[in-house]
Amino acid sequence: MKKKSQERQADVLGTGSAGQTGLVFFPAFDWAISPSHPEREERLLYTRDQIFEEGVMDLPQIRQYQPRLADPIDIARVHFCVPDIETQATEAHRIAAGGALVIADALMKGEIKNGFALVRPPGHHAMRVVHGNRGFCNINNEPIMIEYLRQKYGLKRVAIVDTDVHHGDGTQDIYWHDPDVLFISFHQDGRTLYPGSGFTSETGGPLARGTTLNVPLPPGTTDEGILFVLDKLVLPVLEEFQPELVVNSAGQDNHYSDPLANMSFSARGYALLNEKLSPDIAVLEGGYSVETALPYVNLGIIMAMAGIDYSNLYEPDYNENNFREDPANIKRLGEIVRELSDVFQQRHELVKAARQTLGPLFQRNRHIYYDTDQISEKQEESLKICPDCPGYLFIGSEAVGPMGRHRVYCISIPLQSCPRCQREARDFYLKMRRQPPKSYDYLYLQDRAADHYRQYDYGSQKERVTHS
Ligand SMILES: [Zn+2]
Ligand SMILES: [Zn+2]
């Protein structure tokens, strides 16, 4: 960035806008996967220096908050942690998630107009069942925040826009069957980048079809291409969905200097994206260009959220001509936008048709690989097809890895479930506890309707209950 702090300060003081932007900063300096891993302690060191050097924390538009620990119940609402929450969520993970909760509370209390949780470790590759670390993630910060908000403040409709270069496959998994949470991810094409998913055909489970939307971007996509997708797809879909809250999973690894991906997005592009999207809450995800990009992009997002002029924000090697899109790519992106807009428009009919044609259960079998921890998981997920609600879920999962072998059975009752499904699922848990059809290590009940969570250990025959 050109060192134009003084000019920026002058701009800043002239633009005072109503309402402050909340910031939580948690770099987790004592936690890393390994010393040389890209998701390591130094990741936010330069961002912190940049923010302090620019005097951002002293601006009247900014209000800083201290993070807190997320409670076990906050994690149990979202995840089935194997063998338990303590194993999967270290203190650093709980503070990262808790940082998002602090911003969420401040927003709901009206103390801030929006907020950005600059926390690590990230979370968007963590799925509903957690046997270990995948894609640098153990627990998923945004769903933990969203389920907290739904329980505490009664929010119903939420949109998550994932702007990390990697497909947010964990968040997608958690909301796959939830028609009230719109999940939109744009990312580098899964044929060329981890985790290898996020294609246009992935549009949600049968009773939530059309509220998961994925835009695979060709490697090298520029500011123009990404903003095209934002303008033509993301913003119109949000306008129609009318969420009560817009959350941005803000991964900064689309940046042209990022070592883990191959995109051509700039800090200005990110700031403009944020200004147009205008999320209520942004939560940091990836971004591994620790010294060169991350501080600029994070600062750009903070400035955009706070309504501060970012027109002087340039990387030292920024060249406008590098951020124009190949017309052939725009044409291809236009086709994707049309395809996904159609699915979104037809979502109610698609769900209605699924209810009429499917039997009482819908199943999917999956193989999930945990790259970081080298765990291989097999899942059989069943959805109860209900005429009155999005149904309840049960998942049989078996994982093998350095930790040994774990077999678990998980039952999840969504918040919007009907009374009959709630009864059925609770009875099913009791039946499974007495007489499992095959041998499992643990049985779980995630009862969001009652905000009540159980884990039964078949070995010790002990049950752990977590409730508010
Ligand atoms: Zn990423
Ligand atoms: Zn039902």
Cβ neighbors of 90 (< 8 A, separation 6 or more) are: 31, 138
Counting ligands in written order, the one closest to the CA of 355 is 2
DSSP string, 96-163: HHHHHHHHHHHHHTTS-SEEEEEESS--TT--SEESS-BTTBSS-HHHHHHHHHHHHH----EEEEE-
- Bridge partners (DSSP) listed for residue 394: 382, 411
CA triple 283-286-288, angle to 5 deg: 135
**pLDDT per residue over 243-302, tens digit each?**
999 999 999 999 999 999 999 999 999 999 999 999 999 999 999 888 888 888 999 999
Give the C-alpha separation, 23 to 44, whole Å. 14
Specify the higher pLDDT residue, 323 or 153: 153
Expressed in angstroms and rounded, the spacing between residue 171 Cα and the centre of ligand 2 is 23
**pLDDT per residue over 179-232, tens digit each?**
999 999 999 999 999 999 999 999 999 999 999 999 999 999 999 999 999 999
Q: How confident is the model at residue 18 (pLDDT cuts 50, 70, 90)?
A: low
Q: Where are the beta strands (DSSP E) in 229-387?
A: 245-250, 281-284, 361-370, 375-384
Q: What's the pLDDT at 197? A: 98
Q: What's the pLDDT at 42? A: 83
Q: Where are the beta strands (DSSP E) in 218-360?
A: 245-250, 281-284
Cβ neighbors of 461 (< 8 A, separation 6 or more) are: none
Environment class of residue 405 by beta-carbon count within 10 Å: exposed (0-12), middle (13-18) or buried (19+)? exposed
Q: How confident is the model at residue 6 (pLDDT cuts 50, 70, 90)?
A: very low
Expressed in angstroms and rounded, the spacing between residue 151 Cα and the centre of ligand 1 is 29
Expressed in angstroms and rounded, the spacing between residue 294 Cα and the centre of ligand 1 is 12
Between the alpha carbon of residue 191 and those of residues 186, 200, 202, 335, the distances in Å are 14, 12, 14, 18
Expressed in angstroms and rounded, the spacing between residue 423 Cα and the centre of ligand 2 is 10
**pLDDT per residue over 382-438, tens digit each?**
999 999 999 999 999 999 999 999 999 999 999 999 999 999 999 999 999 999 988
**pLDDT per residue over 99-114, tens digit each?**
999 999 999 999 999 9
Give the C-alpha separation, 50 to 295, whole Å. 6
What average pLDDT does the structure give for the chain? 93
- Report yes or no: 265 and 252 within 8 Å, Cβ to Cβ: no
pTM of the complete model beyond 0.85: yes
Expressed in angstroms and rounded, the spacing between residue 35 Cα and the centre of ligand 2 is 48
What are the φ and ψ backbone dihedral angles of 341, each rounded to 5 degrees? Answer: -60, -40
166 pLDDT exceeds 50? yes
Give the C-alpha separation, 424 to 212, whole Å. 27
From the list 125, 166, 167, 187, the catalytic residue is 125
Question: Is 125 annotated as catalytic?
Answer: yes
Counting ligands in written order, the one closest to the CA of 385 is 2
Q: What's the pLDDT at 9? A: 36
Domain with CATH 3.40.800.20 in the chain: 5-347
Q: What's the pLDDT at 210? A: 98
CB atoms within 10 A of CB 227: 18
Give the C-alpha separation, 424 to 443, whole Å. 16
DSSP label of 400: E
How large is the C-alpha radius of gyration of the chain? 22
Counting ligands in written order, the one closest to the CA of 164 is 1
- Report yes or no: 138 and 93 within 8 Å, Cβ to Cβ: yes
- Bridge partners (DSSP) listed for residue 361: 384
Q: Which helix (H) or strand (E) holds 232?
A: none
Q: Which residues line ion ligand 1, judged by CB < 5 Å? A: 164, 166, 251, 253, 286
Provide the 3-class DSSP secondary structure of residue 326.
Answer: coil
Would you state the structure tokens that stand for residue 349, as one six-digit string? 């009919």
| Assigned fold of 5-347 | Arginase; Chain A (3.40.800)
88 pLDDT exceeds 90? yes
Q: How confident is the model at residue 333 (pLDDT cuts 50, 70, 90)?
A: very high
Counting ligands in written order, the one closest to the CA of 167 is 1
Expressed in angstroms and rounded, the spacing between residue 301 Cα and the centre of ligand 2 is 41
Give the C-alpha separation, 391 to 397, whole Å. 19
- Report yes or no: 41 and 102 within 8 Å, Cβ to Cβ: no
Give the C-alpha separation, 372 to 365, whole Å. 22
Q: What's the pLDDT at 235? A: 98
Expressed in angstroms and rounded, the spacing between residue 202 Cα and the centre of ligand 2 is 24
> Of 121-130, 207-216, 244-253, 305-314, where does mean pLDDT reach its minimum?
305-314
Give the C-alpha separation, 330 to 336, whole Å. 10
307 pLDDT exceeds 60? yes
Environment class of residue 419 by beta-carbon count within 10 Å: exposed (0-12), middle (13-18) or buried (19+)? exposed
Would you state the structure tokens that stand for residue 141, as one six-digit string? 């910060």
Specify the higher pLDDT residue, 373 or 2: 373
Q: Is the C-alpha dihedral spanning 437, 73, 248, 260 positive or negative? A: negative
